[in-house]
Structure 1
């Protein structure tokens, strides 16, 4: 039996975390003993972790990465706290100088770089160690393993990082797993010299689980809303384009579409700014933030149209889940979009802009038959892909 370590940050509600839950559910525990290391034991998905995986205890130094700087200092983790202050100042300066929309990625790189000397190693040696969420410094620097594997879930062509710093880390991995071919291509456009390491393994999906969960909360208030209901399940962040969604709905309202309600399941750092934008556009009764939901599936099932307004994605887990629930889908033309939706068959791809989103919604609002065709197509597809795990076993 091979000993495998899988490391990630926590189990807060998110697409990456849902894909990790699904992978752990379907792992071959007769062949592999899984240790799961979460830097912080928090999140609504904690109780969804397979009991067959061995959840390791928290290590105080690593748990700081899911705490505020003030709380880190309060817990007397002074060196890590000051390294985080330094990384924040450095990244903020970079953001202003280079006019970077989202310097948080660079800040995370620097946070790990400055904190590494003060983080403990894990003494146990593994046959394989998997880092499930970037940045991957923990597995690269603090774990002994015969094979080291890193997972990439995002479109790296849209992420502002220090390439030299990243390459030092990536070179310590034997394999890098991309969740789609488009995700792989965008990664290699930035890190061409790593081509021999990259393998595509799609997120493991469990259609039966998703369909069963969709039936668990049939009495949600959204069901009784007789307006045309749009649903998005997303982090409230720049990458996900929720600000563009608000502006698109304002365009539609100005054109006379006052019977459209757009529901958002999710949370994130941009919540206050998005609420302000909603109020500024007079959309309080039409653009509705539902907050964090452990089970988003009844909400997806209840909608007339699922929309992903993202600026960039690796492969959006929620889009696949909307397909499984037979929903018509609209996504923006981010660089990996064509790997997720075949335009006109299982969804529609619109221009990545406020006008593009508004136009795509208007088209699907008017064309009831097109929505039905997409919905019927998705309802009749087979989405189970547990065979993808065989690729991971091969890599290990």
Structure 2
């Protein structure tokens, strides 16, 4: 029997984010007989922990919920976590000796770009190293990624990217053919069948309350981790503006994150608590997709917004800001309306949906016949091929 390849996978936590979901979907579809995997988390926390296959060994640096505030009673724990992780980052041999018990890995795998230095600074010089890039690091939000910082990624043996735009950015930064050959584009592994099945089950939270007590009005849905990247603040402001202009409609936001309280406060300040609902995290948001009239992506930046994959799978009418991955996923506007990446762009898109809903008929017709190229099996097979060839 062939020896199993030993792989160390690193990610911050398994909270409810796109990269975390993609990682867990990938792990669930890996053949158990080929690999021995240690999954090392900075924080043993997150909604997707329960979905990690039992044969994968989960290790962690800290345990407990993520601390996103600076409340006085949380500061000692928060400070300890930061210092502990910093010490292990500065002296990686301590991590490899005491937490990883001196284990030798064939492959070390950074599941997000934020784990770049942790993997590159590994004391295991003979291991092959892979990184998975989920974000458009050329955006101003990632201003720390100068050309010099970008160049460091070429210390990896393989750089997996999830969209054409990110691939182009890395190819333009590559200084040699050897570096260029390290870049491989693989669409995120997402399970279409699971999305369709889950959309048929489960009851809608507050559905009766939000949908039947008054005449039906157009409903816009947005799903994502609640932090500034997702632009939910822009969405709420546009919602308020359109209501003031006499366009009745509702908004539902599904997701949780460190910015949740700020968005909740904005919802209250704008006095839209009756028309905009914040439902928090759901492990099955797909029934919400089913009842929504439009899916709206209000993001300021993305890598490859996996939530659009879900909206396409469920044949929703889509409005999306022009961020990385959107043109690729919506085939340059064939499958949905792409708007300017601004509050004004979101406003124009939503106003069109409310004023001229029949203009979305062309997208519905295209979606009806559309065959998804983002295939779970193809993606998993492509990643397995990389693991086996390194």
Same fold (TM over 0.5): yes
Q: Does 1:350 align with 2:350?
A: no
Instruction: State the shift of 1:265 in Å.
Output: 0.6
* 1:131-150 paired onto structure 2 within 5 Å: 131-136=110-115, 137-142=117-122, 144=124, 146-150=127-131
CA contact (8 A) 1:201 1:388 kept: yes
CA contact (8 A) 1:10 1:41 kept: yes
Q: Distance in 1 between matches of 2:350 and 2:6?
A: 49
Q: How large is the RMSD of aligned CA atoms in angstroms?
A: 3.0
Q: 1:183 aligns with which of 157, 166, 178?
A: 166
CA contact (8 A) 2:323 2:341 kept: yes
Instruction: State the shift of 1:67 in Å.
Output: 5.0
Which secondary structure state, in structure 2, belongs to the residue aligned with residue 157 of structure 1?
coil
Which secondary structure state, in structure 2, belongs to the residue aligned with residue 130 of structure 1?
strand
Deviations 1:155-187 (A, max 9, x none): 111112153773575243111110111122244
Match of 2:58 in 1: 56
CA contact (8 A) 2:252 2:277 kept: yes
Q: 1:261 aligns with which of 250, 274, 282?
A: 250
CA contact (8 A) 1:306 1:328 kept: yes
CA contact (8 A) 1:4 1:33 kept: yes
Match of 1:151 in 2: 132
Match of 1:128 in 2: 107
Match of 1:117 in 2: 91
Q: Distance in 2 between matches of 1:293 and 1:382?
A: 27
Match of 2:203 in 1: 218
Q: 2:218 aligns with which of 221, 228, 231?
A: 228
* 1:250-289 paired onto structure 2 within 5 Å: 250-258=240-248, 260-289=249-278
* 1:368-387 paired onto structure 2 within 5 Å: 368-383=357-372, 384-387=375-378
Q: Distance in 1 between matches of 2:78 and 2:24?
A: 33
* 1:292-311 paired onto structure 2 within 5 Å: 292-311=281-300
Match of 1:204 in 2: 189
Aligned length: 364
Q: Which 5+ residue runs of structure 2 have no aligned equivalent?
A: none
Match of 2:320 in 1: 331
CA contact (8 A) 1:325 1:379 kept: no
Instruction: State the shift of 1:143 in Å.
Output: 6.0
Q: 1:112 to 1:328 in 2, by over 3 A?
A: farther
Instruction: State the shift of 1:150 in Å.
Output: 0.5
Which secondary structure state, in structure 2, belongs to the residue aligned with residue 272 of structure 1?
helix
Higher mean C-alpha displacement, 205-214 vs 29-38: 29-38
CA contact (8 A) 1:5 1:129 kept: yes
Q: Distance in 1 between matches of 2:376 and 2:65?
A: 33
Q: Distance in 2 between matches of 1:76 and 1:306?
A: 37
Q: Distance in 1 between matches of 2:169 and 2:222?
A: 24
Q: Does 1:17 align with 2:14?
A: no
Q: Distance in 2 between matches of 1:73 and 1:356?
A: 40
CA contact (8 A) 2:256 2:281 kept: yes
Instruction: State the shift of 1:151 in Å.
Output: 0.7
Deviations 1:239-279 (A, max 9, x none): 11111111211221122102x11110112222233223223
Instruction: State the shift of 1:64 in Å.
Output: 8.8
Which secondary structure state, in structure 2, belongs to the residue aligned with residue 6 of structure 1?
strand
Which secondary structure state, in structure 1, belongs to the residue aligned with residue 246 of structure 2?
coil
